[in-house]
Amino acid sequence: MDLSSINPILLVASIMVSATPILLAAIGEMVVEKSGVLNLGVEGMMITGAVVGFAVAVNSTSPAAGFLAAAVAGALLSLAFGVLTQFLLSNQVATGLGLTLVGLGMSSLIGKPYEGMKSPTLPKLDIPLLSDLPVVGRMLFSHDLMVYLSLVLVALVWAFLKYTRAGLILRAVGESHDSAHALGYKVVRIRLIAILFGGACAGLGGAYLSLVRVPQWTEGMTAGAGWIALAIVVFASWRAGRVAIGAYLFGGVTVLQLNLQAAGADVPVALLSASPYLVTIIVLVIISALGAHGAPASLGRPFHASS
């Protein structure tokens, strides 16, 4: 094995790129779950975002338009979930699973003509001073805009939930929808907004995969990233900071094991490929075992104003 073939600067840089799609999807899903809704359709919304973002970016030659379209597509798909579960009171687990199947199927249909094409991608930012710093400049400050936006989004979600009244109401709805209703809050409306936000975030995460990380369209390219995002939310005990840790950990181990494979490490490839999943779950299980779990008390329970 030749460890010197691994460049630490490139390693850290690619970790950030690899973590971003999962981080986007997970922070969105965290908000959804904080409002008391369990949307298992993250994978479906991600891949829909990936294909729609790719198609729009190719046709308009604008990656920004692609990201925007991906967010809208993810939100629209989640709206279907919202209407089904919040108004028609369908089962959240079954509907979420259905959403994933719809997303996977629909994306391969839409994506067929785009296979093998190359998309315009986001430019790397050249931040004055910061990007020119030795080592850290290339590691941390020479990425595309979405990497930083995703981190800003995590901070915003954290502050929103902790300090704003709207965030308090969202948490209250997730804790006890009956009490929130008794106090006169619009449970269904608040949950729909959260669901839409979650859908848009998952769409952005998908588009980041097809427009920046790969950047290409291949069928089923999310490869379980949506499920990892879901698991990260749970093991991160519904806290924004821990979601970021989980996403970066998963991204980090993914990139590291690819590098190790390339360097010819003397470990079975199957084990290396499984390692991101194992390490993320083990670390987050330890974190959540140390502290309170804090699952929103109304998570996954259907709400109707009459009961």
Partner 1 sequence: MIANDDVSFDIGRGEIHALLGENGAGKSTLVKMIYGLVAPDKGEMQLDGARYAPTKPSEARRAGIAMVFQHFSLFDALNVAENVALGMETPPPMSDLARQIREVSETYGLPLDPGRTVGTLSAGERQRVEIIRCLLQNPRLLIMDEPTSVLTPQEVEILFETLRKLKAEGTSILYISHKLEEIRTLCDNATILRLGKKVDTCIPSQSSARQMAEMMVGSSFATPEARGGTAGEVLLAVRDLHLPAPGAFGTPLRGISFEVRAGEVLGIGGVAGNGQDELLSALSGERAAPAGSIMLDGKDISRAGPVARRGMGVLSGPEERLGHAAAPDMSLIENGVLTAARSEGMLTRGFISWTKARTFAEEVIAHFDVRTPSPGTAARALSGGNLQKFVVGREILQSPQVLVLNQPTWGVDAAAAAFIRQSVLDLAAKGAAVVVISQDLDELMEVSDRFGALNEGRLSQTPPVASLNIEQIGLMMGGAHDMEVAHVDV
Return residues touching partner 1 (CB under 8 A): 165, 168-169, 171-172, 175-176, 178-180, 182-185, 292, 294, 296-297
Integer Rg of the chain from CA: 20
- Given the complex with partner 1, which of 254 and 288 has the nearer CB atom? 288
Shortest spacing between CB 90 and partner 1, in angstroms: 17
Secondary structure (3-state) at 61: coil
What is the C-alpha separation between 258 and 272, in angstroms, rounded?
A: 8
Shortest spacing between CB 284 and partner 1, in angstroms: 20
Secondary structure (3-state) at 302: coil
Shortest spacing between CB 235 and partner 1, in angstroms: 18
Closest CA to 299 of 81, 92, 27: 92
- Given the complex with partner 1, which of 215 and 296 has the nearer CB atom? 296
Shortest spacing between CB 89 and partner 1, in angstroms: 15
- Given the complex with partner 1, which of 168 and 267 has the nearer CB atom? 168
Shortest spacing between CB 294 and partner 1, in angstroms: 7
- Given the complex with partner 1, which of 64 and 175 has the nearer CB atom? 175
CB 6 within 8 A of CB 259: yes
Shortest spacing between CB 160 and partner 1, in angstroms: 14
Using the structure block, give the residue that is written with the tokens 């006169």: 184
CB 201 within 8 A of CB 149: no
- Given the complex with partner 1, which of 105 and 294 has the nearer CB atom? 294
Tokens of 251: 């991204």
Shortest spacing between CB 176 and partner 1, in angstroms: 5
Q: Is 17 exposed, middle or buried (0-12, 13-18, 19+ CB in 10 A)?
A: middle
Closest CA to 55 of 111, 123, 120: 111
- Given the complex with partner 1, which of 4 and 307 has the nearer CB atom? 307
Tokens of 90: 């369908």
- Given the complex with partner 1, which of 74 and 296 has the nearer CB atom? 296
C-alpha separations of 221 from 25, 79, 216 in Å: 15, 23, 9
Dihedral angle sign, alpha carbons of residues 266, 267, 270, 276: negative
List, in sequence order, the alpha helices (H) in 164-268.
Answer: 165-175, 177-182, 187-208, 225-235, 240-262
Shortest spacing between CB 182 and partner 1, in angstroms: 4
- Given the complex with partner 1, which of 129 and 292 has the nearer CB atom? 292
As a whole number of angstroms, the longest Cα–Cα distance in the chain is: 66
